[in-house]
Amino acid sequence: MDKTKLLLQKLIAKGMTLATAESCTGGLLGKKITDLSGSSAAYLGGVISYCNDVKQRILDVSEEDLDAFGAVSEPTAWQMAEGVRKLLGANLGVGITGIAGPNSDETNKPVGLVFIGVSNGQTILVREYHFLGDRAAVREHACAEAVDLLLGLVGK
């Protein structure tokens, strides 16, 4: 079964809600979830934080961390996840930040570097990925891994 569909089914079965914070994927994860009819039973929505101001001001990512580590970093990913979870009042939050390419950002981090954070308000996980492929491939990989991390957090 499609893993996004599996995630949605598990969320609904457990009465849990989800919020998404997307930077490099720019709405792709939200799109994938809402491709599924009935997703409104678990998916509250999210924030596409394509610029740092939105990360900081709306998702409450620390300005100091953004300055010190950059937008594509572990602290940014988990703060996006926890920030959107709190903002929307969801059980689970996910944050995705990365370099989809073809160009890097001002930090010259490598294309394909993506950090994904997930939070249920008690446990926060962050993982670092180095995806190969073009912009579209990096974005697809990031969404697939985000769904996997969320599945892990939802449990069996």
Q: Name the site residues for a second copy (rule: CB under 8 A).
A: 20, 22, 24-31, 33-35, 37, 39-40, 43-51, 53-54, 58, 87-89, 100-103, 135-136
User: Hey, what are 68's tokens?
Assistant: 């010190």
Q: Which CB, 99 or 126, lies closer to a second copy?
A: 99
At 109, list the tokens. 């981090």
Distance between CA atoms of residues 86 and 120, nearest Å:
10
Instruction: Enter the tokens of residue 44.
Output: 């509250």
CB of 93 to a second copy, least distance (A): 13
Q: Which is nearer to a second copy, 108 or 123 (CB)?
A: 108
Would you say 4 or 123 has its CB closer to a second copy?
4
CB of 105 to a second copy, least distance (A): 9
Of 100 and 149, CB closest to a second copy: 100
Q: To the nearest whole angstrom, how small is the minimum distance from the Cβ of residue 154 to a second copy?
A: 18
Q: Is 147 helix (H, G, I), strand (E, B) or coil?
A: helix
Q: In angstroms, what is the minimal distance from the CB of 126 to a second copy?
A: 21
Sign of the CA dihedral with 131 first, then 102, 64, and 53 last: negative
Minimum distance of a second copy from residue 51's CB (angstroms): 5
Q: Answer whether 97's CB lies under 8 Å from 129's CB.
A: no
Which CB atom, from 24 or from 149, has the smaller least distance to a second copy? 24
CB atoms within 10 A of CB 74: 16
C-alpha neighbours within 13 Å on the C-beta side of residue 135: 8
